[in-house]
């Protein structure tokens, strides 16, 4: 497990460091756009990954038809890091079994934990997910849990050995954007692991906003897959995520109604200096 | 639905579960008057972010018929949002056509003079191998409804055999008790399809003249028993055209809705069979469910339960199927044989109905690609 601070680096050094890698489980990534692969044609995969400049691509292990027809693993570029998910799991035990199967299929040690006991809204079960992390982290998996943004649950996931936290912005596939904005902000402020917004991001501007808030990366699938031009939209997301990250690193200017700073000191009229300052 | 009626009583051994879902379906369907809806009701339904049961009813009404194009547009969008462009492929395998029931519309009717057959384990293996060679990973095992000729042990062994070749195994057989479903689940089956035929209890008794199938509530409660037995997914269907198809479609959707409420983890699917010509009575035709009506029901299901799976039957013609996989359906059969032993080219028993789309797996695969959609052979992991 690695820890990456999401604190604004400029506040310390006053200059933007050149290296701005996303670090998860000890692995370094230049891209902060994690691409989902489940909802567009396999033939487009190479092009979309390239346009997105994605280095991490998720896939549902339930779609990995190893050795069979239309096997998604045959279409993914060999240089991407696979992030298999446990889609289909309803309990911790099922997620654990799918993760182990993923390793047997040589999909690596990264696992995106999805424990979803609800087929209508696809909302995750945070406590079952935490139970799965406890087991899988001990087995050396790099666990990235999909979760409902709840600080208490996120802390428990950290303690269980998660490598990043993936709160939902809105229900999966809804393209509604940052519906859970305030709660994700709390995670960004309080959790030392990378916060990766997963699910609900519908347009590049929403991804950009999340990045400006200080989240470490964005995961998107439906917003890209349902676009008129899938490849071009993946490029737009990559640009927006990059811009949002740059804005975060630059340090956003404060809003005037939010702890505004006056251009002249407001306390310059004071004469009665304390004893320690007497000359 | 119809007013006073008496169910055929439960037969010995049929499990009674404590559930009020049937009562809720009958009560709501009884109140559903398809002629009472207006353009305004339909417009409200089409604008609703999440459709209520009343919105679903409006979309099934004759008032919605002029709005098919708008319904199709929203359905296509919902389908894409929930499933992307993935279309799952599967095929049915008929194990046996022996049947104890007398259903007036069915080729397997026990009084019909057809060639009866039941595959033995060698025959099943031959069929499974032939199907697996096409690349399919999802199979649906079917039998006629005979507890003597195709008992649960026989079906369980067939499931075990199938699970060695296929990742996803479903069953479409006579309704079972929950412990029997649990047995089949242990053997390797994950989903259960039960066609209710009609939710009108009076019409139900008219068309099911003899046999255990006459016990209406035992059939309605099959999906719930299957889920209690550990199955992961259940499919709902009425045979549209057997009674008032709008009421049957409403009852089917409501049934699925109530089951999903009670079992939120359950994978919900719909099938949409309608009456087609069958052996020894080729003159039978759908009363009023032509393609536009069928599509209206499909679109209403999709808008009401946008997350649910939907299978398009090979009873429909290729041109219709290729279009609806883009609008609302998520699963399509390919390389279908409805006769017993047909895949291994050793046909021994007659089929249940006539196919309208006999295309092979590669042909259906190519048709999916031609629509800009992606064929998915495996979308299931057995855990």
Q: Buried b vs exposed e over B244-258: b needs ≥16 C-beta within 10 Å?
A: bbbbbbbbbbbbbbb
CA-based nearest distance B8→chain A, Å: 34
Give the Cα separation of A130 and A115 in Å (integer): 10
Residue B8 placed within a domain: no
Residue B7 placed within a domain: no
DSSP secondary structure string, B176-218?
--HHHHHHHHHHT--EEEEEEE-S-HHHHHHHB-SSGGG-HHH
Instruction: Dig out the tokens for B218 from the structure.
Output: 């035992």
pLDDT digits (tens, 9 = 90+) for B25-57: 999 999 999 999 999 999 999 999 899 999 999
Q: Which of A36-40, B30-34, B173-177, B299-303 has the lowest mean pLDDT?
A: A36-40
Whether B358 and chain A come into contact, CB under 8 Å, resolves to no
Give the Cα separation of B83 and B302 in Å (integer): 12
Nearest to B383 among A64, A88, A122 (CB): A88
Q: Is the pLDDT of residue B99 over 90?
A: no
Which ipTM score applies to this complex?
Answer: 0.77
Q: Is the pLDDT of residue B311 over 70?
A: yes
The chain-wide mean pLDDT, for chain B, equals 90
Q: Which of A75-79, A124-128, B218-222, B309-313 has the lowest mean pLDDT?
A: A75-79
Whether B266 and chain A come into contact, CB under 8 Å, resolves to yes
Residue B10 placed within a domain: no
Question: Which uninterrupted H or E stretch holds A112?
Answer: strand A110-113
Nearest to B264 among A94, A117, A173 (CB): A117
pLDDT digits (tens, 9 = 90+) for B242-292: 999 999 999 999 999 999 999 999 999 999 998 864 445 545 444 578 899
Q: Is the pLDDT of residue B3 over 80?
A: no
Give the Cα separation of B349 and B337 in Å (integer): 11
Instruction: Dig out the tokens for A58 from the structure.
Output: 């998720």
Residue B30 placed within a domain: yes
Banded pLDDT at B338 (limits 50, 70, 90): confident
Task: State how far Cα B269 lies from the chain centre.
Answer: 8
Residue A136: what pLDDT?
A: 97
Residue A77: what pLDDT?
A: 81
Residue B6 placed within a domain: no
Active site residues of A: 112
CATH number of the structural domain spanning residue B275: 3.20.20.70
Residue B383: what pLDDT?
A: 79
CA-based nearest distance A268→chain B, Å: 57
Q: Does A143 or B101 have the greater pLDDT score?
A: A143
Residue B348 placed within a domain: yes
Residue span of the structural domain in which B25 resides? 21-376
Q: Is the pLDDT of residue B339 over 90?
A: no
Banded pLDDT at B306 (limits 50, 70, 90): very high
Instruction: Dig out the tokens for A7 from the structure.
Output: 């604190």
Residue A225: what pLDDT?
A: 85
- Nearest 10 degrees: Cα torsion B138, B141, B142, B145: -140
Whether B377 and chain A come into contact, CB under 8 Å, resolves to yes
The closest alpha carbon to B253, from B49, B23, B75, B28, belongs to B28
Q: Which residues of chain A have pLDDT under 70?
A: 1-18, 253-263, 267, 272-279
pLDDT digits (tens, 9 = 90+) for A54-87: 999 988 888 877 777 777 778 888 888 889 999 9
- Which residues are bridge partners to A82 per DSSP? A57
The pairing of beta strand B168-172 with beta strand B191-197: parallel
Banded pLDDT at B295 (limits 50, 70, 90): very high
Instruction: Dig out the tokens for B230 from the structure.
Output: 């550990």
Identify the sign of the CA torsion B44, B50, B51, B52: negative
Q: Tell me the chain B residues in contact with residue A64 when contact means C-beta distances shorter than 8 Å.
A: 378
Neighbours of B180 (CB within 10 A): 20
Please count the structural domains in chain B.
Answer: 1
Banded pLDDT at B208 (limits 50, 70, 90): confident
Number of Cβ pairs < 8 A linking chain A and chain B:
84
DSSP state of A83: E
Residue B15 placed within a domain: no
Whether B165 and chain A come into contact, CB under 8 Å, resolves to no
Residue B352 placed within a domain: yes
């Amino acid at each position: 497990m690695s820890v990456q601070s999401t604190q604004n680096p400029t506040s310390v050094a006053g200059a933007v460091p050149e290296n701005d890698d996303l670090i998860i489980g000890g692995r370094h990534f230049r891209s902060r756009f994690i691409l989902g692969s489940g909802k567009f044609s396999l033939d487009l995969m190479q092009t979309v990954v390239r346009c997105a400049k994605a280095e991490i691509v998720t896939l549902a292990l339930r779609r990995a038809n190893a050795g069979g027809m239309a096997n998604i693993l045959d279409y993914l570029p060999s240089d991407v890091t696979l992030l298999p998910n446990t889609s289909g799991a309803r309990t911790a035990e099922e997620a654990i079994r799918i993760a182990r199967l993923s390793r047997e299929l040589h999909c690596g040690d990264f696992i995106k934990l999805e424990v979803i006991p609800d087929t209508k809204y696809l909302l995750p079960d945070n406590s079952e997910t935490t139970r799965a992390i406890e087991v899988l982290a001990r087995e050396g998996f790099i666990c990235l849990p999909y979760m409902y943004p709840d600080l208490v649950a996120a802390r428990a996931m950290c303690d269980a050995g998660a490598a990043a936290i993936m709160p939902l912005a809105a229900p999966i596939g809804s393209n509604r954007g940052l519906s859970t904005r305030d709660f994700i902000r709390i995670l960004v402020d309080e959790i030392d692991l990378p916060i990766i917004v997963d699910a609900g991001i519908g347009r590049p501007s929403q991804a950009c906003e999340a990045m400006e808030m200080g989240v470490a990366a964005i995961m998107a699938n439906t917003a890209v897959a349902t676009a008129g031009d899938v490849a071009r939209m993946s490029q737009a997301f990559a640009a927006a995520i990059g811009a949002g990250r740059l804005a975060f690193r630059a340090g956003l200017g404060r809003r005037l109604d939010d702890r505004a700073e006056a251009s002249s000191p407001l306390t310059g009229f004071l004469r009665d200096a304390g004893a320690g300052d007497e000359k | 639905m119809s007013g006073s009626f008496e169910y055929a009583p439960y037969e010995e051994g049929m499990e009674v579960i404590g559930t009020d879902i049937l009562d809720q379906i009958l009560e709501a369907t009884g109140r559903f008057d398809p002629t009472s809806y207006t353009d305004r009701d339909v417009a409200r339904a089409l604008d609703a972010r999440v459709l209520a049961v009343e919105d679903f009813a409006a979309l099934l009404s004759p008032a919605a018929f002029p709005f098919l194009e708008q319904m199709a547009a929203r359905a296509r969008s919902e389908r894409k949002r929930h499933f992307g462009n993935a279309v799952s492929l599967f095929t049915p395998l008929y194990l046996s056509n022996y049947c104890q029931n007398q259903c007036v519309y069915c080729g397997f009717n026990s009084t019909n003079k057809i060639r009866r057959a039941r595959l033995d384990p060698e025959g099943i293996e031959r069929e499974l191998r032939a199907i697996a060679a096409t690349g399919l990973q999802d199979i649906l095992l079917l039998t006629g409804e005979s507890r003597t000729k195709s008992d649960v042990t026989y079906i369980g062994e067939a499931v075990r055999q199938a699970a060695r070749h296929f990742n996803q195994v479903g069953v479409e057989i006579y309704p079972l008790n929950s412990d029997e479903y649990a047995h089949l689940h242990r053997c390797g089956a994950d989903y259960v399809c039960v066609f209710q035929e009609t939710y009108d209890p009076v019409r139900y008794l008219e068309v099911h003249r003899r046999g255990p199938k006459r016990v209406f509530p035992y059939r309605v409660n099959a999906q719930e028993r299957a889920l209690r037995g550990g199955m992961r997914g259940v499919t709902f269907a009425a045979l549209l055209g057997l009674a008032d198809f709008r009421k049957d479609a409403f009852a089917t959707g409501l049934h699925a809705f109530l089951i999903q409420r009670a079992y939120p983890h359950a994978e919900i699917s719909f099938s949409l069979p309608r009456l087609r010509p069958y052996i020894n009575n080729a003159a039978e035709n759908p009363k009023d469910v032509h393609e536009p009506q069928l599509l209206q029901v499909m679109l209403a299901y999709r808008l009401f339960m946008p997350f649910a799976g939907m299978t398009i039957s090979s009873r429909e013609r290729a041109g219709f199927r290729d279009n609806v996989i883009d609008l609302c359906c998520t699963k399509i059969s390919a390389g279908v044989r409805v006769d017993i032993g047909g895949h291994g080219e050793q046909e021994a028993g007659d089929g249940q109905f006539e196919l309208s789309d006999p295309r092979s797996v590669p042909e259906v695969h190519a048709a999916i690609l031609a629509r800009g959609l992606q064929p998915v052979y495996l979308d299931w992991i057995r855990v």
